[in-house]
Amino acid sequence: MSKALKQLTVVSGKGGTGKTTVVASFAALAESKVLADCDVDAANLHLVIEPTVVESGDFYGAKIAVRDLELCQQCGECERRCRFDAITATDIDELACEGCGMCVIACPHQALRLETVSCGKWYLSETNYGPMAHAKLAPAAESSGRLVTMVRQKAEDAAIERDIPLAIIDGAPGIGCTAAAAITETDLALIVTEPTLSGIHDMERVAQLCMQFNVPVTVMINKADLNAANTQRIRAYCADKGLGLLGELPYDESVTEAMARQMPLVEYRDGPVAQGIRAAWEELSEILSN
Amino acid sequence: MLHADRPTVSVAAGKGGTGKTLFATSLAVALNEVQPGQVQLIDCDVEEPNADILLHPQIAEREPVKVLVPEVDLDTCTRCGRCAQECQFSAIAVIRDAVLTFPDLCAACGVCAYVCPVGAIAEVERQVGIVERGMSPEGIHFVQGRLSVGDQRATPVTKATARMVDVNMISILDAPPGTACPMQESIESSDYCILVTEPTPFGLANLQDAVETCRRMELPCGVVINRDGIGTPGVTDYCTAEGIDILLRIPQDRSIAEAYARGETLAHSFPQWRDELVDVYDAVCKFLRSESTLTT
């Protein structure tokens, strides 16, 4: 990993708080950066940033057990050893199989082997805003944490190759493997939250996760005028935990209009939300350059 | 009339923040009005469970969710490295004299202990989350799973939570967003999946993935459009073209967003929605009944 490369990851805990809208606008505002859409389960940044794919590949996240029927004696040792109820003496449940290889090792007749399966694709693209790494997880696939790591690696490689100083990462909602893989070893996490009780609860959980990873946190409150008391609670939480508070954006339907037109908000309309994002970006570039 | 079979309905969304939990809890409240004490709400969004914020349950039971992780007896271990060689998840490594384990990567498959030639690996339980059960003030049976912050293995917690479905009740399952393993584990135990979306290009893209996931799992699904009136007609056009039922449209309305911000369901703050919510469940029952007649 290049020491010169700064990495900003944008997360939210709760989905739908405006994470991708913020990232798309930052993409338009930042001078030299790579983008990484690490919300691989529900990737949306490409809908705003229109990438032209220049490189792509299969993502082999998981393996599954495959049986050689000629060698199999149907002894059932695989079934007895499998912890995931994924195999019987005659059948393999591909969705349940974790690809751990227990059955392969346990089979006394060497009738089983592991095969890699493609569970998605990664892409490196050119966009009007610089290079972008993204991915598409196959429906009903798994291993998305590893796909996130792969997307980040592709973005980092592109940054190093072109001497780009900044990576902006669109993270996944939640606090599980995909969110964690987008947060770990970044320079700053921006949590986009909203003043709903769910938004606050989820922000607190993802903030705790960032703190466990020793990643500094700054918070942006979207739709801040939706509930004044809840917005105050978020401010108080940030003050109490020593988290940065980057800005407050008002509730504004032009955000949805920009999304419907598939444009970064700051390029669609210079309303109060766009101005708020501009101001936040200036402050963020300041923080990131230190 | 509610269908006697009481199918289990999961509520999911490809995209987060579309109103999944608002819809699931509102549906539970509305159904509980009609069938008091017969409704169960199971929050399977274990990374960020929120249904309790809207339903205010009194939690009566707490059950830890544990998974097995390897524990190496360094005195017995010969550092042969067989465990690391066979582990498909890079969850155990032997580096010179040290043996490192990475519990977050461990799938609890037991391969390391099985292959160890000197029996130096034991499997010990480690808590990754909790399943909580209780009752809301109006009598909704409430279950939620919570992943411990810092643990990344949502799937075992989701599985343990989804197992709490009581088929004798009207069970509503709130699934996590996305289409990856925790979402699949949640909707797998249901008879029908309601996909909540918003009428934007983001909502549409993630809805298409969610529909495809349901189809691969051979689970029937229908759509609820939240914030109807904003955005683009893409979602409606897609549902029409694919023959997917649009079960309900909830209009874009700042007062609904404000009520949600305060932690109120639609059924609590806008009682006029109760009948329409009950109709959604009835429509699902009717659909499943006609389908079972067709297939038998």
Look up the ipTM and state it: 0.89
For an interface test with B, the pick among A197, A211, A268 (most B C-beta atoms closer than 10 Å) comes out as A197
> Is residue B2 scored above 50 in pLDDT?
no
Q: What pLDDT, on the 0 to 100 scale, is given for residue A61?
A: 78
Closest Cα partner for A112 from A92, A140, A142?
A: A92
Q: Is B196 helix (H, G, I), strand (E, B) or coil?
A: strand
Q: Are residues A23 and A72 in the same domain?
A: no
Nearest residue in A to B150, CA atom: A209
Cβ–Cβ contact B15 with A under 8 A: yes
User: Mind telling me how many Å the CA of B106 is from chain A's nearest CA?
Assistant: 10
- Asked if residue B161 and residue B278 are part of one domain, the reply reads yes
B74 and B218 share one domain = no
**CATH number for A76:** 3.30.70.20
Q: Report pLDDT for A144.
A: 82
Q: How many CB atoms lie within 10 A of CB A168?
A: 28
Query: Would you say residue B1 has pLDDT above 50?
Result: no
- Cβ-Cβ contacts under 8 Å, A202 against chain B: 48, 50
CB contact under 8 A, A175 and B149: yes
B260 contacts chain A (CB < 8 A): yes
- Do B244 and B195 reside in the same domain of the chain? yes
Strand partners, A132: A35, A125
Question: Residues 158..217 of A with a Cβ closer than 8 Å to B: which?
Answer: 172-180, 194-199, 201-202, 205, 208-209, 212
pLDDT band with cut points at 50, 70 and 90 for residue A62: confident
Q: Which of A42, A178, A195 sits opposite B14 (nearest CB)?
A: A42
Query: Quick check: A101 and B18 CB within 8 A?
Result: no
Contact list in B for residue A15 (CB cut-off 8 A) is 13, 15-18, 177
Q: State how far the Cα of B104 lies from the Cα of B96, in Å rounded to an integer.
A: 22
Lowest mean pLDDT among A167-181, B176-190, B282-296: B282-296
Instruction: Give residue A3's pLDDT.
Output: 59
Provide the residue range defining the domain that includes B224.
9-56+137-295
How many residues comprise chain A? 290
If asked whether residues B234 and B264 sit together in one domain, one would say: yes
Identify which of B147, B128, B190 has the alpha carbon closest to the alpha carbon of residue B45.
Answer: B147
Which chain A residues are closer than 8 Å to B175 by Cβ? Answer: none
Residues A106 and A136 in one domain: no
Q: Is residue B143 part of a domain?
A: yes
| A188 and A246 belong to one structural domain | yes
Q: Which residues on chain B are in Cβ contact (under 8 Å) with A253? A: 230, 252
pLDDT of amino acid A290? 79
On whether both A252 and A124 belong to a single domain, the answer is yes
β pairing state of B221-228 and B192-197:
parallel
* Tens-digit pLDDT profile for residues A235-268: 999 999 999 999 999 999 889 889 999 999 999 9
B18 to chain A, closest Cα gap in Å: 6
pLDDT digits (tens, 9 = 90+) for A165-210: 999 999 999 999 899 999 999 999 999 999 999 999 999 999 999 9
Residues B51 and B15 in one domain: yes
Find chain B residues with C-beta within 8 A of A176's C-beta.
47, 147, 152-154, 182
Q: Is residue A171 part of a domain?
A: yes
Nearest CA in chain A to B255: A226
Residue A78 is inside which H or E element, if any?
helix A77-81
Within an 8 Å CB–CB cutoff, is residue A80 touching chain B?
A: no
Same domain, A95 and A125: no
List of E strands, chain A: 6-11, 34-37, 52-58, 62-67, 112-117, 120-127, 130-137, 166-170, 188-193, 217-221, 244-248
At A143 the pLDDT is: 62
Mean pLDDT over residues A116-133, rounded? 94
Distances (CA, A) of A255 to A25, A71, A245, A271, B126: 11, 61, 21, 9, 44
Structure tokens at B46: 């274990």
What is the pLDDT at residue B158?
A: 95
Task: Note down the domain range covering A68.
Answer: 62-117
CA dist., res. B113 & res. B135, Å (int): 41
Distance between the two ends of chain B, CA-based, in angstroms? 23
The answer to whether residue B116 sits within a structural domain is yes
CA distances (Å), origin B47, targets A15, A16, A204, B55, B57: 11, 15, 12, 18, 19
For the record, the structure tokens of A158 come out as 């592109």
CB contact under 8 A, A260 and B232: yes
Structure tokens at B74: 């360094």
Q: Do B154 and A177 count as a contact with CB atoms less than 8 A apart?
A: yes
Any chain A CB within 8 A of the CB of B109? yes
B12 in contact with chain A, both atoms CB, cutoff 8 A: no
> What is the per-residue pLDDT across B189-228, written as a single tens digit (0 to 9) for each?
999 999 999 999 999 999 999 999 999 999 999 999 999 9
Same-domain pairing of B269 and B236: yes
CB A163: neighbour CB atoms within 10 A? 10
CB contact under 8 A, B261 and A208: no
With 0-12 / 13-18 / 19 or more C-beta atoms within 10 angstroms meaning exposed / middle / buried, residue A113 is middle
Under DSSP, is residue B27 helix (H, G, I), strand (E, B) or coil? helix
User: C-alpha distances in angstroms, B139 versus B134, B142, B276?
Assistant: 9, 9, 21
> What pLDDT is attached to residue A140?
67
**Ramachandran angles phi, psi of B24, nearest 5°:** -60, -45
Secondary structure E strands in A82-230: 112-117, 120-127, 130-137, 166-170, 188-193, 217-221
- What integer best gives the mean pLDDT of chain A? 94
Neighbours of B117 (CB within 10 A): 9
Lowest mean pLDDT, pick from B53-57, B130-134, B151-155, B248-252: B151-155
With pLDDT > 90 as the criterion, what percentage of chain B qualifies?
88
Question: How many domains does chain A divide into?
Answer: 2
| CA gap B46, B152 in Å, rounded | 11
Of A126-130, A143-147, A256-260, B203-207, the one with minimum mean pLDDT is A143-147
pLDDT above 70 as % of chain A: 98
User: Residue B3 above 60 pLDDT?
Assistant: no
Residues B21-54: tens digit of each pLDDT: 999 999 999 999 999 999 999 999 999 999 999 9
From B103, B127, B151, the end of a domain falls on: B127
Q: What is the pLDDT of residue A41?
A: 87
Using a CB-CB distance cutoff of 8 angstroms, which residues of chain A are in contact with residue B110?
A: 81, 83, 102
Residue B233, domain CATH: 3.40.50.300
List B residues 221-240 in contact with A (Cβ-Cβ < 8 A): 227, 230-232
Residue % of chain A over a pLDDT of 90: 84
Q: Which one of B115, B158, B202, B211 would you mutate to disrupt binding with A, by most A Cβ within 10 Å of its Cβ? A: B202
A1 domain residue, yes or no: no
- How much is the mean pLDDT over chain B? 94
Residue A3 forms contact with B (CB below 8 Å) = no
User: Are A259 and A144 in a shared domain?
Assistant: yes
Considering the domain architecture, whether residues A107 and A208 belong to the same structural domain is answered as no
Cβ of A173 within 8 Å of Cβ of B232? The answer is: no
- Per residue in B63-103, pLDDT tens? 999 999 999 999 999 999 999 999 999 999 999 899 999 99
Determine the Cα–Cα distance for residues A32 and A45; give it in Å rounded to an integer.
Answer: 18
